[in-house]
Chains A and B, each alone.
Chain A
Amino acid sequence: MIAAVRSRAALRAGAVALFILIAEWSRAEISRQPGWTLAALGVGGAVLGVAAVGWPPESLGLGTSRFGLRILGGVALGAVLLLPAAARSGAAPLLPAGLALGAVVVSIGEELAFRGALYAALEELGGAPLAITGSTMLWTLAHVLSHPPEFLGAVAAAGLLLALWRWASKDLVGPILGHVIADLAL
């Protein structure tokens, strides 16, 4: 009985991981085509959000209790994610305004997929340690095509921070808000 439950959980976690990986890699490939960047961000973000369909909001970390604190946590996460860039001398990169909407959609989609559905599926399978390490590893792997190799350490560190927040506060609102702020501001 336990083995059957575990194998079903493993199957679900594997399916979610595969879906997310294909969605992220497709998004990265499509965004390289001339004129497709915004569409790839918007549609890719929406497709990633599909991974969260069917999960109860509570298991995704989307409850409404302590909502003020969740928002505040998101603002704090945004500040932490932006701090290294803000502390550097000179100007940080500029996000063209046309990509802002895509940035918002993809941030929400990625959080629903990685720290939402994938985290929940891995937690069901092997508890919080597997959820944190597994979602961070897949998050890093998913960004292999869209980021230069030397950036992947920072990508992994951001994924770990967001996953730890998800675990410590059982909250996804904070990571979503922090990710949106960081993407829009950088």
Chain B
Amino acid sequence: MLALAAIFYAVASWMVAPGFYDGFGPTQPYNWTCPPPQAGANLKPSSGHLVIKVIDGSSDPNSAFTDDGQLVIGFLPGAFMVDGKTSITVDVTPLDSCPQPPGVRFVTNVYDVKASAPLDPQKSANLVLIYSNLEPDPSDIYQAPAPDGPWTKLPRSQQGQPFTIVARTTTFGYFAAGYPATSAPPGAVTVGGGQLLPIIVAVLIVLVVLAGLPLAVMRRRRSSRGKDA
């Protein structure tokens, strides 16, 4: 019965991405444009659209977000230079390719954030990106005017919820979270996981075999002594 349960577990856990123990990970799997090999079934990332009202020449406070919640950008009251407009539209679209510029390693999708009016430089927008636990934590959010760059780091804001990274921006463009490729991933002190996992499992199996044999021999000797007595 134990063997059957082990097989059932192996099948059930094979069907999802690894890393579900005790909720250390994000509460929803990340929707990838280019899923890493270890990701399980993947959904395409969503886009988002927002219309912000302009009342008495000032834009309302509001937040634009993708339908899967992987990018949220919040705007203060009067955040836009409205220039006579009666409403502002904001569109968030995940890029359908995964640029990896030199010197930076992205760990999220790249998102194109556009609006029908520019931001007031004095009223920066709050940008929140969710990331996956299948990749190392990002250190910064990067921004570029085009997918091929140049990519610049945004000043990082206070720490948000687990598996989110927050920054402030005064311009629109392309956004992604990542870390400098020349350095080790930030917070790289990790326990297990990664390429180490097969080694850990191999060591555990060897330990069971090596320790199990003497224990089995001892038990057999004990039981044969008992029979002799």
Contacts and interface: CB of A to CB of B under 8 A. Distances in A.
Interface of A: 28, 31-35, 37, 41, 68-69, 72, 75-76, 78-100, 103, 106-107, 110, 143, 146-148, 150-151, 153-158, 160-161, 164-165, 168, 179, 181-186
A186 B23 contact: no
Contacts of A68: 211, 215
A32 B23 CA distance: 10
B16 A85 contact: no
Interface string B1-37: 1100110111111111111111111011100000011
9 contacts: A72-B215, A79-B205, A91-B195, A93-B18, A153-B12, A154-B15, A157-B5, A158-B9, A183-B24
A186 to B, nearest CB: 5
Contacts of A72: 207-208, 211-212, 215
B9 A160 contact: yes
Given A72-B208, A94-B190, A161 B5 contact: yes
Contacts of B197: 82, 85-86, 91-92, 185-186
B23 A185 contact: no
Nearest to A91: B194
B193 A103 contact: no
Contacts of A91: 36, 38, 134, 193-195, 197
List the 8 closest pairs (A to B, CB-CB), nearest first.
A146-B23, A185-B192, A85-B18, A93-B19, A90-B37, A79-B204, A157-B9, A157-B12
Nearest to B136: A94
A156 B8 CA distance: 10
Interface band, chain B:
35 or more
Contacts of B159: 34-35
A41 B22 CA distance: 9
A35 B166 CA distance: 14
B162 interface: yes
A88 B38 contact: yes
Nearest to A41: B22
Contacts of B9: 80-81, 84, 154, 157-158, 160-161
Contacts, number: 193
Contact of B207 (A75, A151, A183): A75
Given A107-B22, A155-B20, A82 B136 contact: no
B38 A79 contact: no
B162 to A, nearest CB: 5
A96 B20 contact: no
Nearest to A28: B23
B21 A183 contact: yes
A87 B159 CA distance: 34
A82 B204 contact: yes
A32 B191 CA distance: 21
Contacts of A184: 191-192
Contacts of A37: 24, 162
Interface string B182-206: 0000010111111111101100110
A41 B101 CA distance: 37
Contacts of B136: 94
Given A95-B24, A186-B18, 14 more contacts: A68-B215, A75-B207, A80-B9, A82-B197, A84-B18, A88-B18, A98-B187, A99-B24, A110-B22, A148-B28, A150-B16, A156-B12, A160-B8, A184-B192
Contacts of B211: 68, 72, 75
B147 to A, nearest CB: 25
B190 A97 contact: yes
B84 to A, nearest CB: 39
Given A85-B197, A153-B12, A31 B18 contact: no
Contacts of A158: 9, 13
